[in-house]
Amino acid sequence: MIHLRTAAEIDAIGRAGAIIGALVDRLEERIAPGISTGDIDGICERFIRSHEGAVPAFQGLYGFPGAVCISVNEEIVHGIPSPRRVLSDGDIVTVDVGVTLDGWCADSAYTFTVGTVDDETQRLLDVTRASLDQAVQAAVPGGHVGDIGAAVMSVVDGTGMGIVRDLVGHGIGREVHEEPQVPNVGRAGHGPQLRAGMVIAIEPMLSLGSDRIKTLSDRWTVVTADGTRSAHFEHTVAVTTDGPRILTGSTRQAEAGVE
C-alpha cells in the first residue's frame, strides 16, 4: 500500500531527517585518513541518540549489527562497521543513515572523500550527486515513479558509468521500507503515479564500471561485480503541491527545531 501523509506527518518525518542533515555536517568534519568505520559508526550512534527520542533506524533492522551502514570504495551498500577497517587517503566512504523519531523514519546516504581523491573518483561523486538532484526535481504530483529513474539516466547517459539496477529506492514513513519501490532506471510516464503526500527515498547508486553487483560472504555487504568504485547519494523527499521537499538536507531545520 502506498501511503499519503498529511502535512503534519511530513513535518514529523522532516524532524527525523533534520537530524541526519546535521549529522552529515558533523561527519564532514570528522572523516579523515586514519579513522575506522567502527569509529564512524560510534559517532553516528552517539549523535543520533543525543537527540531526545531519536534512535538509529537500521540498528537491528533485519538483523543488521551496526547503527549505520558504512561502505568503502567498491562497496555499494550495507557495509558492516568495524574497528579494523581503517580508511586511507584517497578512499571514498558511503554512510547510509536511518533515524526514527516519534515513530517516523527518515533515510539518507552520502559518499564522503577521505583526504584527496583522484579526478575519476571525484567525477563519480559529482555525477552521482547531480543525478540525485535531477531525480528529486522529478518528484512532483501527476508524475510517475518512472520519471525519477529516467531523470537519473538522463544525467548518467554518456558518462560511461553504470547505474546499479538491482537496488532501488522506496517509500518511507512509519517503516524504513514501504511502497512504492523507486528504481534508478525508468521510462518517463510509467510506473505508479506520484501524488501529493507521498514520501519516498530516492537513492541513485553509480559505479565506474559495470552495473552488476554481488554480495560478500558476510551476507550484508553489496559490492560492484567488477571491483570498480561506487558512489551513493540519497534523500528522503516528500511529494507536495509546492514541489519536491527534501526532508534530509536541512541543517538549519535541525538547529531550529530538533537540537
53: its cell numbers: 527520542
DSSP lists the bridge partners of residue 205 as 232
Instruction: Specify the DSSP class assigned to residue 62.
Output: G
Residue 24 burial (CB count, 10 A): 17
CB-based contact 19:251 (threshold 8 Å): no
140: its cell numbers: 512532483
The DSSP bridge pattern shows strands 92-101 and 75-77 to be unpaired
**Length of the chain counted residue by residue:** 259
Rounded CA-CA distance 153/131 in Å is 8
78 is in an annotated binding site: yes
Helix (H, G, I), strand (E, B) or coil at 129: helix
234 is in an annotated binding site: yes
**1 CB-near residues (< 8 Å, 6+ apart):** 179
3 is in an annotated binding site: no
Residue 182 burial (CB count, 10 A): 27
170 is in an annotated binding site: yes
25 is in an annotated binding site: no
Rounded CA-CA distance 107/18 in Å is 10
Amino acid at 97: V
**169 CB-near residues (< 8 Å, 6+ apart):** 148, 181, 182, 183, 184, 200, 201, 202, 203, 234
Binding-site annotation, residues for a divalent metal cation? 96, 107, 170, 203, 234
Binding-site annotation, residues for substrate? 78, 177
Binding-site annotation, residues? 78, 96, 107, 170, 177, 203, 234
